[in-house]
């Protein structure tokens, strides 16, 4: 680039010092290492004429556009996601890193606040931030979570717990005693009944009136549902298996959750469903693993869509927290086999798609910050 440089580019010493002082004053933080601060003006969100009674937030962990594309290609060029009339994009970065992790990503969705990587339901200053699930409970709505990780893993944890570090699993499990969540289905029973502090959280949940069960007692689909009790069902001791290893509960559990929660309160429900292992496959750069998890997640989307179409009062939002793997579909790919490229075994910083269906869906068009998804969900319910 051509520029005029008086004094051969050298400033007189005094001016240099002033310039340095100015730079030092302007930068009380090392700004190069921090992500960009939100620059968009706060948007005045219109409350829809018909508010959503129920919200189902479906999070594909690590699900960017190329993961969705690969699932579509390998599923005869079609996904249930195509039935969503509204599409938007969110900016996924966290408060301390341009590349978010799942803890900060889920905390942004759950609380409306951008926080640091690793944070679970706490602000950047490590103060607890109320979550949309807790607020829905306070308003008398029914609440639930269905996940394909453990229920104490970062994404579900951010909706129910408030701890400074995502790895505090036994601590996060105690969050399930704080909020009367109506339904929880996912892995990780060992954090509840085989704890290092010997506390039996199964028993404590039962004392609170929960029906507590797990994979070692009965299959989920054998449970005779008791709509007068909250339900906690654990699908595995630690991480649930993959779809390829035979895990198959996400689709029936998503259907069960909608039906169960709709009977738990006449004030509506908030349900979070996570396809957790799209991310794990991305970390492993394992394309067939990722595609099978993606297609199963889409089948769960189809099940929830079926419910929402019959119900008419349910808003579904499908998004990812970030992309994982820098995954691309390269030249030589066919419908039958994808020639994959990966740039990393971690997350990337690309924009993430948001799909919305139902009352208030139009609130989710456009480009906005990830934490704005919380504000838009609140607006959709008329809060
Ligand atoms: Mg996750
Ligand atoms: Mg409840
Ligand atoms: Zn990840």
Would you list the domain boundaries of the chain? 54-166+262-380
For residue range 36-53, what is the model confidence (pLDDT) as tens digits? Answer: 776 655 678 888 889 999
Residue 114 has pLDDT above 90, yes or no: yes
Ligand 1: centre distance to CA 57 (Å): 13
Ligand 2: centre distance to CA 178 (Å): 11
Ligand 2: centre distance to CA 218 (Å): 23
Most confident of 4-8, 19-23, 280-284: 280-284
Of the candidates 66, 94, 95, 102, the residue annotated as catalytic is 102
Q: Which has more pLDDT, 11 or 380? A: 380
Lookup: tokens for 101: 């992790």
In percent, how much of the chain has pLDDT > 90?
Answer: 87
Torsions phi, psi of 256, nearest 5?
A: -60, -45
Phi-psi region of 9 (alpha: psi -120 to 50; beta: other; left: phi over 0): left
Q: pLDDT at position 35, please? A: 73
Catalytic, 149? Answer: no
In the structure, ligand 3 is a single-atom ion and the residues with CB under 5 Å from it are 279
CA 194 vs CA 123, 199, 203, 225, 237: distances in Å? 30, 8, 12, 26, 9
Q: pLDDT at position 23, please? A: 41
Lowest mean pLDDT among 11-15, 177-181, 363-367: 11-15
For residue range 303-354, what is the model confidence (pLDDT) as tens digits? Answer: 999 999 999 999 999 999 999 999 999 999 999 999 999 999 999 999 999 9
Lookup: tokens for 310: 């019959």
Counting ligands in written order, the one closest to the CA of 149 is 1
Counting ligands in written order, the one closest to the CA of 134 is 2
Helix ranges (DSSP H) in the chain: 13-26, 65-73, 102-111, 132-138, 154-160, 169-178, 190-193, 201-207, 250-264, 277-283, 287-311, 372-380
Which CATH superfamily, name and number, covers 54-166+262-380?
Alkaline Phosphatase, subunit A (3.40.720.10)
């Amino acid at each position: 680039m051509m520029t005029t440089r008086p004094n051969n580019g050298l400033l007189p010493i005094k001016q240099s010092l002033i310039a340095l002082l100015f730079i030092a004053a302007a930068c009380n933080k090392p700004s190069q290492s921090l992500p960009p601060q939100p620059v968009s003006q706060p948007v005045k969100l219109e409350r829809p004429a018909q508010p959503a009674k129920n919200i189902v937030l479906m999070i594909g962990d690590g699900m960017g556009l190329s993961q969705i594309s690969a699932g579509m290609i390998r599923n005869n060029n079609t996904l249930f996601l195509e039935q969503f009339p509204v599409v938007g994009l969110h900016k996924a970065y966290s408060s301390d890193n341009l590349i978010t992790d799942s803890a900060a990503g889920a905390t942004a969705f759950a609380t409306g606040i951008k926080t640091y990587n690793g944070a679970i339901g706490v602000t950047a200053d490590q103060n607890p931030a109320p979550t949309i699930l807790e607020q829905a409970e306070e308003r008398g709505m029914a609440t639930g979570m269905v996940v394909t990780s453990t229920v104490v893993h970062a994404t579900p944890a951010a909706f129910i717990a408030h701890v400074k570090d995502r790895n505090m699993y036994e601590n996060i499990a105690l969050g399930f005693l704080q909020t009367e969540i109506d339904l929880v289905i996912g892995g990780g029973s060992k954090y509840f009944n085989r704890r290092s502090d010997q506390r039996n959280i199964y028993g404590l949940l039962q004392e609170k009136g929960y029906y507590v069960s797990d994979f070692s007692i009965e299959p989920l689909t054998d449970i005779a549902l008791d709509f007068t009790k909250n339900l906690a069902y654990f699908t595995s001791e630690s991480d649930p298996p993959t779809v390829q290893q035979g895990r198959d509960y996400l689709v029936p559990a998503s259907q069960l959750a909608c039906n169960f929660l709709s009977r738990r309160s006449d004030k509506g429900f908030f349900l979070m469903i996570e396809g957790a292992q799209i991310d794990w496959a991305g970390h492993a750069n394992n394309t067939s693993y990722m595609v099978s998890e993606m297609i199963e997640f889409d089948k769960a989307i189809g099940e929830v869509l079926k419910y929402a179409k019959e119900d008419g009062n349910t808003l579904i939002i499908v998004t990812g927290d970030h992309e994982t793997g820098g995954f691309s579909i390269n030249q030589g790919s066919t419908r039958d086999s994808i020639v994959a490229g990966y740039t990393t075994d971690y997350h990337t910083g690309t924009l993430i798609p948001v799909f919305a269906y139902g009352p208030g869906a139009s609130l989710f068009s456009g480009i906005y910050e990830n934490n704005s998804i919380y504000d838009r969900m609140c607006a959709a319910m008329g809060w």
